[in-house]
Each structure stands twice: as structure tokens, then as C-alpha cells.
Amino acid sequence: MTSAEHHAPSTLPLSSTVILNVAHSLDHMFLLIFAAAISSIAMEFGLARWEDLMPYGVGAFVMFGLGSIPAGRLGDLWGRRAMMLVFFAGMGCSTILAGFAQSPLQLGAALTLVGTFCAIYHPVGIPMIVQGVRNPGATIGVNGFAGNLGVALAALVTGFLVQWFGWRAAFIIPGVIALACGVIFALITPPEQQAPARRLTPAAKPLPDHLLIRVLAVVTATGLSGNLLFQFATNGNSRLLTERLQGILSDPATIGALLALIYGIASLAQVTVGRLIDRMPLRKLYCTIVLCQIPMLLAAAFAQGWLFFVLLLGTMICIFGAIPFTDAVVVRFVEDRMRSRVAGMRTAISFGGSALAVWALGPIVKSVGFDWLLVLMAGISICTASLASLLPREAGGSPQG
């Protein structure tokens, strides 16, 4: 027997799968607490406009990308269970620390730590949850649904906590919950028999080298453009919905509840898309969903009131529906023993680059308003569809150039 063992990874117990899906919810929720509470934070820190505070959140998203490279490497070489324990403990403690910040600079430093530990989930948690499963598309779809429920929870829970207990509680209480989840995960998840890098398992549909290089390049590029869109939307929707419903609704809790409704419904699209991924060619399905984003964004750019609410719902369904594809491609074409490293590299570029959206959101809105931001997002969707069309065709169950 060589240093790499020749057997497939075992599937996780159902209880561990559930807590990993909960972890995905927390991962996305924690990254968006700042955006959902930004108006209250800016007011306490004496800033005239919320846009002026937005750049302090950039460090979280930079580290969310860059941190995934060492996280993925450690996940493969050290072990995914161990890295998930680091995820829960680090994310909980750093989020609590953010709740005690006394200045924008202190808050920015704490948020950077939050992003560093949140970076662990995508290159470690997702490969862990799909290892050994027979229907990876459906598994990724459910996991994506859980992750975007976290986006909904960020709007709903943060809006409620800010209104009734203040913005600091919006960080501290979720941080305590993350620590508790880490304890539960440690108790119910069995130790790994060996690190993933020691296993040899074939990819579901192995590719020749030239096609694999093309696929990884396309996945990285579409991940970047798709995450730019996602970050613009999720970080700006709270203020955008408040602006478009002006004169109809205004309190943070109600706005948060409406956003939670939008995100909850939109997240269901990932479950449906995940099931379709197991049955349909990736390229055709991916391009179709991304192309549907374009008319929705253009119509939403100039709508007001409840019509805008409906269009925003349609837009987020299309944006969330496109999310499972990058992980599905990695699972389909990359061996399990190196998935965390591949996912880490891809995540570093796509999520690290999308930190630009967080930094640019405030200045763009301040300069040209939300109307032209939505038009810009439609342009990003056009780029994503063009890139996705470069994926190889799949005919007769085999990839073709």
C-alpha cells in the first residue's frame, strides 16, 4: 500500500450533515451582519452617511477570499473535521469581539478576523459534506439553500436585534451561538480515519488536461463575476429596499423581514437547481439561469414601491440559482483528495476579487445612485453568461470540447 490509501471517503452521519448546513448559514450570516446594521453603527460612531463606514468592511471580504487558500490546504493535508472546529471557535470569538468595538478602525479589524475564519467553510465544509455522496448536485443545492438562509437571517435577525437590543447584540449573540454549534459538532462528528490527501478517489467525470485547465479557468472567472453580483446585491439590498419603499415602510425590523422573505424564497431555487445539476448538462443550465438575471436587473433599476419588491425577488431567485454551479463543477471533475485545495484557490480569487464590490458599493451609490448600480450588475451578468458558454459540452455522459 502506498502513502495514499485507495478507498472512497465515507459519507457523514446525518447529524453531522445537518450541523455543516447550519455552519453554512452562520458563515454567510456573519459576513452580512455589518451591512445589515451599518446605519445604526454609523450613527453611534458619529458618521454622517452610512456609505462612509462601508470601506471598513472590506478587510472581512479580502480575508474571506485569501484565507481560503491556507484553509483548503490544511483541510486536505491536516483534516476537514479539525479545520471546522477552528472555524466555529474562531468565527464565534471574532464576532463577539466586533460587538465590543469602540471605533470604526477597531470594528474593521474585528471584521477582518471574522472574514479570516469564515474563509474556512467553503474550501473545507463543502468538500466534507459531499464526500462519498451519490447525488452531489442535490447535496450542494440543499447546502446552498442553507447558506443563503444565512443571508436571510442576517437581514431578519440583525434588524430585530438592532431595533430591540442595539447593534452590539447583533454581533455578540450570534457569536455565542457559533461557539455552541462548535461544541455540538465536536461531539457528534466522528474523527477522520485519515486526511483527505491520503485518499485516492477518481473524479466523477475525469477530463483531459487541456479541458480541465479550461474548466478551472472558467469556474474561477464566473465565480469572480458571480460573487461581484452577489456582494453588490446582498450588501446593498437593505438600503436599496429602504429607498424604494420610502413613504411605505421605514423601520429596520420590517425591512429586515421583507429581505428575509426574499432571500428565503430565492434560496429555494438552489434546491431545485441542485437536483437539475445531477440530470442536465452544466453549461446549458448555467447559461439559462444567468441570462434570466439580465432583464430582471434592468427592470428593477427603474422600478419603485411594491413593483420593485417583486422584481427584486425575481432578481435574487436568479442570482441565488446560479450559485451552486462552481462547487458542482469542482465535485464533478476533481478528485476528493484535492478538492479543498482546488476549492480554496478558486474561492480565493472569486471571493477575494469580489471584496472590490464591498469597497466600491458606497462610492458608486453615492456618485450615481442605485439605478446605475443595477444597470452595472446587468452588465456583469452578461459577462458571466459569456464565460459560462465556454464550459465543455457534455454528450452521452462525457465532457466534450
pLDDT in tens, 241-251: 888 888 787 77
* Of residues 321, 322, 333, 317, the one with CA closest to residue 388: 322
- Which triple of cell numbers denotes residue 336? 476528493
For residue 394, pLDDT beyond 70 = no
State the average pLDDT over residues 99-118.
91
Cross-strand pairs, 398 = 395
Separation between Cα atoms, residue 183 and residue 180, nearest integer Å: 5
The pTM of the full predicted model, rounded to 2 decimals, is: 0.73
pLDDT of residue 94: 95
Secondary structure of residue 400 in the 3-state scheme: strand
207: left (phi over 0), alpha (psi -120 to 50) or beta: beta
pLDDT of residue 396: 42
pLDDT of residue 1: 42
For residue 168, pLDDT beyond 60 = yes
- Which triple of cell numbers denotes residue 373? 448600480
Separation between Cα atoms, residue 81 and residue 87, nearest integer Å: 10
**How many other β-carbons are positioned within 10 Å of the β-carbon of residue 42?**
20
pLDDT in tens, 45-82: 878 777 778 778 878 888 887 888 888 888 778 888 89
In terms of DSSP H, where are the helices of 245-338? 252-277, 282-300, 305-321, 324-333
pLDDT in tens, 216-231: 888 888 888 888 888 7
**How many other β-carbons are positioned within 10 Å of the β-carbon of residue 109?**
16
Residues in the chain: 401
pLDDT of residue 338: 64
Are the CB atoms for 38 and 53 separated by under 8 Å? Answer: yes
CA atoms within 13 A on the CB side of 206: 7
State the average pLDDT over residues 345-356.
69
What is the maximum alpha-carbon separation in the chain? 71
pLDDT in tens, 81-106: 899 999 999 999 999 999 998 888 89
Q: Which amino acid is at 199?
A: R
For residue 397, pLDDT beyond 70 = no
What are the chain's domains? Answer: 14-400 (1.20.1250.20)
pLDDT in tens, 254-297: 887 888 788 888 888 888 888 888 788 778 888 999 999 999 99
pLDDT of residue 205: 58
